Structure 1
Amino acid sequence: MKTRHTLKTVAAPLLLLTLSACGAGDGGNGGYGAPPATGDGDSGDAPGLRTADTELGTIVVDDDGMVLYQFDSDERGSGTSTCEGQCAQNWPAVPGEETPDADGISGDVDTITGVDGRPQLTLNGWPLYYYAGDQEPGDLSGQGVGDAWWVLTPEGEPVRG
């Protein structure tokens, strides 16, 4: 039993360090991880958007409470995502096959064609992503990764810092 506890104590920080390697300098392609289990997001259906009050203020999450992010390497309003390859595995696109409910969201919600050829939700022109390191609703472990990944306000503005 003691060995299992010690292994968890060592493994958790190493996993976080590995997942955090995805940053702006390498196009977000460093690190490893699987997409989070996000209910509707796994089936390709567009999740609804809502707000959540956090230590960072009021931010955008999906219906399950999973935090959504934008990537500084993307150009707002360009209609394209720059996150592909390993980056897309660590930062899965938020599917956008239908217009979602957007409770409390005042920014423009739309879709683009993601790097996989499927629709991806956008907020105020920013493609939206999940972070594989977020395991539970409300987890904010993707905030500030590589000084390039940020949560969004309901208006669709990145919360930097």
Structure 2
Amino acid sequence: MIQQRIVLLSAAGLAATFLLAACDSSMDNTSSAPAAVTSVPATSVPATPATASSAPSGATTGLVAEAVKGGGDVVTDDKGMTLYRYDKDEPSPSKWTCSGECTKTWIPVIVRNSVQTTGVEKSLLGTVHRSGQTQLTLGGWPLYRYVGDTAAGQLNGQAKDRMWYAVTPSGQKLTAAG
């Protein structure tokens, strides 16, 4: 099934690059207007992996929709780590509520410039500004990584505290293991 998806996605050319708004130094946690979007073939703009010296630990350059064992289709970052959304956050307008100690367990997905996607609905991508950084949103929901996921494809944060859920390619929360 994954091979079919890869072939279909490749054949359809469903990779795109998004130019995201520059980081705002504002402490405001509400979203601004959607970032400008530019579609280009995936081969013309390679993803550049984030490194400790060039980006914060929560930085990402890619989103991928993939099947995760025991979970169905979820969104992962460019390293295969499952991304989550928090039920206490607000999608419209995007507003984050996880701060302080919360961000030590749930690491905000930070973006600097562009994000390459495969199988994720590009029109659902956006950003929200937090403490001088730009956090990625999907379907209006701010995205996070779970510190308890230590390897690609894990879902250790799924349904944690009945408030944290893996995010699906359409921006919805994953409600049942598939």
User: What is the TM-score of this pair, normalised by structure 1?
Assistant: 0.70
Q: 1:101 aligns with which of 113, 116, 122?
A: 116
Superposition pairs for residues 41-56 of structure 1, below 5 Å? Answer: 43-44=55-56, 45-54=59-68, 55-56=70-71
Structure that is richer in helix per residue: 1
User: 2:174 matched to 1:159?
Assistant: yes
> What is the alpha-carbon distance in structure 1 between the residues aligned to residue 105 and residue 93 of structure 2?
22
* Cα pair 1:46 1:98 within 8 Å, conserved: no
Percent of aligned pairs with the same amino acid: 34
Q: After superposing the two structures, state which structure 1 stretch, 75-84 or 130-139, moved more.
A: 75-84
Q: Could you tell me which runs of 5 or more consecutive residues in structure 2 were left unpaired when the two chains were aligned.
A: 1-48
User: 2:126 matched to 1:110?
Assistant: yes
> What is the alpha-carbon distance in structure 2 between the residues aligned to residue 100 and residue 158 of structure 1?
21
The Cα shift of 1:155 comes to 0.8
Partner of 1:79: 94
> What is the alpha-carbon distance in structure 1 between the residues aligned to residue 138 and residue 71 of structure 2?
18
Superposition pairs for residues 25-64 of structure 1, below 5 Å? Answer: 40=50, 43-44=55-56, 45-54=59-68, 55-64=70-79
User: 2:149 matched to 1:149?
Assistant: no
Q: Could you tell me which runs of 5 or more consecutive residues in structure 1 were left unpaired when the two chains were aligned.
A: 1-38
> What is the alpha-carbon distance in structure 1 between the residues aligned to residue 169 and residue 72 of structure 2?
10
* Cα pair 2:66 2:76 within 8 Å, conserved: yes
> What is the alpha-carbon distance in structure 2 between the residues aligned to residue 91 and residue 147 of structure 1?
14
Structure that is richer in strand per residue: 2
Aligned partner of residue 117 in structure 2, secondary structure = coil
The Cα shift of 1:160 comes to 1.7
* Cα pair 1:91 1:131 within 8 Å, conserved: yes
Partner of 1:128: 143
Equivalent residues, number = 122
Q: CA RMSD for the aligned pairs?
A: 1.6
* Cα pair 1:99 1:110 within 8 Å, conserved: no
* Cα distance change on mapping 1:82 and 1:99 into 2, 3 Å: same
Aligned partner of residue 118 in structure 2, secondary structure = coil
- Show structure 1 runs of 4+ deviating over 3 A: none
User: What is the TM-score of this pair, normalised by structure 2?
Assistant: 0.64
